[in-house]
Chains A and B, each alone.
Chain A
Amino acid sequence: MLPRRFRVASTRHDNHDTLTVHLEPCDGAPLAFAAGQFTMLQVFGVGEVPISISGDPRGSGPLQHTIRDVGSVSHALAFAAPGEVLGVRGPFGTGWDVADGKGGDVVLVAGGIGLAPLRPALLEICAERDDYQRVSLLYGARTPSDVLFGDDLRTWAERHRITVEVIVDRGEAGWTGRIGLVTQLIGKVAFGADRRLALVCGPEVMMRQSAVALVARGVDPSRIRLSMERNMKCGIGLCGHCQLRELFLCLDGPVLAFDRLEPLMARAEL
């Protein structure tokens, strides 16, 4: 339960309420992780929360977490000054295992901040792009100003042959793109008949509706992976908070296949 010490190297403002914090290990030993894993990130004396890692799992750069400023701990994390030392435990949980999609088509569906946990998977695909067939990213945001990682989206589309479709709940002056729900895009995405893999991350209701739409497109529920969010206090299966019936989402998840999750997600307040 003892955290490692990481120093804030820099912070990038992604949009009006979301920042990406870059951390360097005080002891010099980088933190190896798999795309989709999270850490327990803490501001000493304030609190600790689970945050997915948003950086490149193959890179040697700083450890990246993209944080939405919505609570006291996330605020303290997002606005930690360069030089400040934060506590890091982990990495914990299951990853996307995106390499399992090699040889086939991959569709990634993101809602809001859900793009951040998918970013390492996208970077992993970009690094070995030729090993995959068609890759699509369907990304829903509230408004055009909420869109994250704009530079990445352009790079992925222009340099890595990833079909990037962005849709927003509400438009703004100058927005010429789509307006609506991300689930609408699933009906049009280009898919082969076999070896398809879908990775979905966003609010729970959006993930469930996306998974249902993907199943309707003929994707096997065992090939649809969702990243689940629950309250977590330990990250190691001891505190009990993240239980979803028999699952400890910190150990068994956060990434789980839809065939396992479907009966549990169908129950309100489970």
Chain B
Amino acid sequence: MDTRILTTDGLQALVDALQTRGFHVLGPAVRDGAIGFGPVREVADLPAGWGDEQEAGHYRLRRRDDPLLFAYAAGAQSAKPLFFPAQEVLWRARHDANGVHPTPPDPEAGADGPVAVLGVRSCDLAAVGIQDEVLLGRRYGDAAYALRREGTFVVAVTCSHPAATCFCGSMGTGPRPGAGTAPAAPYDLAMTEVLDEHGHRFVVEVATERGGHVLDEAVRAGAAVPAAGPEDLAAADDVAARAAQAMGRQLDTSGLKELLYASAESPVWDEVATRCLACANCTQVCPTCFCTDVRDVTDLTGALVERDRVWDSCFGAEYSYIHGGSVRASTRARYRQWLTHKLASWEDQFGMSGCVGCGRCITWCPAAIDLTAEVAALRHDGGGRRDGP
């Protein structure tokens, strides 16, 4: 394997090389008191010396006493909105004497060029892979998503500081890109951030030819990008191994589909419904949730018509509305739908789990509902015993 070393100066040279190639470089940034994605022009744009503290219903950024750039867990949003925006125009039309002629928006208009994403952690890389399957892998694809995904350059990062809400180890998606058992989106480079007696550096695995070329371009621009030595590889392995040990939560995935299907009438749903606010936060931060609604917008004269697609949530009352009422009128039924889809029916639909273990639904639930605890409660309840043969 081609593995090289970047210093922070080398990382800047990588960002420069990507920009020279015309990429709009995005990476983690401190926004509104949380880690999100923002434009990266300089390494100084990255959240140096920031860490986080996460628990069920709790997220705080914390100052660290070191210069690490990626020493935090999953941010408030995954890479999902970069390719699957919360709102997008499906078509626009002008209503005139000739009638209405819907036309899709020009995909080039307003675009900043192809995207290079820096610092995609392993769980989120798996989530992008899941979204690729959901939105592109079946009979009908999402053309706008395909266009946004096309040519994306990905610099993945090993998660070095998992949160108390993390369980990617259980889902086979992390903490190191490429080392998980679940399918993931492709990446060009994968880096592991190391800080030890040999200094602060990034051990970079070159995964694609294009990734190697970009590093070569950084070298031609004057950066030192030496091959990694055995001590570098060992240090990177150690970062990943310690992260795997630091996983704050676990999810027993054995027979999960059968458990969820057999638990349809479990009293656990009634109990969780007493706490669940049906606020949809979990679905808004989930890196794999893909449900959408459409909105028709007109100007005051009715001459301009626009059809927008927006993220939706199975926790809403209108989500399942048909004439006569909502199919899932109760919070009990909505939580059951969400968890059963994520962990069970997703397998039947797409041949994989819909959960990557990022823990966001736990962190951002205002009622601190923890899906790992709910699954444990279903196991304790016995699901199938109540309901089965």
Contacts and interface: CB of A to CB of B under 8 A. Distances in A.
A269 B328 contact: yes
Dominant secondary structure at the A interface: loop
A245 interface: yes
A230 B327 contact: yes
Given A230-B327, A267-B265, A269-B327, A2 B104 contact: yes
A116 to B, nearest CB: 14
A238 B142 contact: yes
B330 A269 contact: yes
A233 B305 CA distance: 18
B306 to A, nearest CB: 9
B264 A267 contact: yes
Given A71-B323, A230-B320, A230-B327, A5 B100 contact: yes
B319 A231 contact: yes
B93 A44 contact: yes
Contacts of A240: 290-292, 312, 314
Interface string A223-240: 000000111011011111
Contacts of A230: 320, 322, 327
Interface stretch (B17-25, B114-122, B133-141, B201-209): B133-141
Contacts of B134: 238
Nearest to A73: B296
B113 interface: no
B292 A243 contact: no
B345 to A, nearest CB: 4
A193 interface: no
B302 A45 contact: yes
A71 B314 CA distance: 21
Nearest to B257: A246
B298 A45 contact: yes
A70 B327 contact: no
Contact of B349 (A229, A246, A270): A246
A243 B342 CA distance: 12
Contact of A1 (B91, B296, B321): B91
A46 B305 CA distance: 9
Interface in B301-320: 302, 305, 307, 309, 312, 314, 318-320
B316 to A, nearest CB: 10
B145 to A, nearest CB: 9
A45 B323 CA distance: 21
Contacts of B265: 267
A239 B309 CA distance: 9
A3 B93 CA distance: 11
Nearest to B144: A1
Contacts, number: 108
A239 B293 contact: yes
A233 B294 contact: yes
A236 to B, nearest CB: 4
B388 to A, nearest CB: 12
Interface residues of B, number: 51
A239 B312 contact: yes
Contacts of B102: 2-3, 44, 87
Describe B's contact surface by its main secondary structure. mixed
Interface in B326-357: 327-330, 332-333, 337, 340-341, 345, 348-349
A248 B322 CA distance: 16
B63 interface: no
A236 B139 contact: yes
Contacts of A87: 100, 102
A166 interface: no
Contacts of B320: 230-231, 241
B99 interface: yes
Interface in B78-118: 90-91, 93, 95, 99-104
B345 A246 contact: yes
Interface in B203-245: none
A48 interface: yes
Contacts of A236: 139-140
Most buried by A among B140, B291, B302: B140
A104 interface: no
A241 B345 contact: no
A85 interface: yes
A2 B345 contact: no
A251 interface: yes
Contacts of B298: 45
Contacts of B332: 269
A168 B341 CA distance: 39
Contacts of A221: none
B345 A245 contact: yes
Contacts of B103: 2
7 contacts: A48-B294, A236-B140, A237-B138, A238-B292, A241-B293, A243-B337, A267-B264
Given A5-B101, A44-B296, 12 more contacts: A2-B90, A74-B323, A85-B99, A87-B102, A236-B140, A239-B292, A239-B293, A243-B337, A246-B348, A246-B349, A270-B333, A270-B337
The 7 closest A-B pairs by CB, nearest first: A240-B291, A269-B333, A246-B348, A236-B140, A246-B345, A45-B305, A45-B298
Interface of A: 1-3, 5, 26, 44-48, 68, 70-71, 74, 85, 87, 229-231, 233-234, 236-241, 243, 245-246, 248, 251, 267-270
